[in-house]
Amino acid sequence: MKAYTTIGQSRKLAEILPLESADMIYVYDRHLDKLYGDTPYVIGYKVLNEDVDIPCWSLTALLSVLPEGTRLLKSATDNTYHCDCPKGNVNKWFDNPIDAAFEMICWLLENKKI
């Protein structure tokens, strides 16, 4: 199961969420002039360098920025996930909870709900 946002999702969230809401980072290696692997580090183990590193969010971090009362639902039939939010809904089910929470955050921000 997917445990954190992808690099693409992380880049988008870094533009719209407070960086302190991230709990992980993709580390940039200055010597190789590229990201150091495709697995993020937990913030605390590594320090975020805002100039080059990419903040990353776990499911817990994503859920913490959603409005109170938001529920993460899992389908009983096909193992897909959906966020049910009091301020609106993305009427789509996703293969994993990270994508469901990411899409809900993007929808809420685009529609000026948070």
Q: Are residues 105 and 92 in the same domain?
A: yes
Q: Are residues 74 and 50 in the same domain?
A: no
One digit per residue, the tens of pLDDT, for the chain of length 114 reads: 789 999 999 999 999 999 999 999 998 877 666 777 778 878 777 777 878 889 999 999 999 999 999 999 999 999 999 999 999 888 899 999 999 999 999 999 999 888
Domain presence at residue 1: no
pTM surpassing 0.85? yes
**DSSP state letters, 95-110:** SSHHHHHHHHHHHHHH
Q: Are 24 and 47 in contact (CB under 8 A)?
A: no
Domain presence at residue 69: yes
∠ CA(114), CA(99), CA(105), 5° rounding? Answer: 5
Range of the domain at 33: 7-57
Domain presence at residue 45: yes
Q: Are residues 52 and 81 in the same domain?
A: no
Q: Are residues 73 and 90 in the same domain?
A: yes
Burial class (CB in 10 A: 0-12, 13-18, 19+), 6: middle
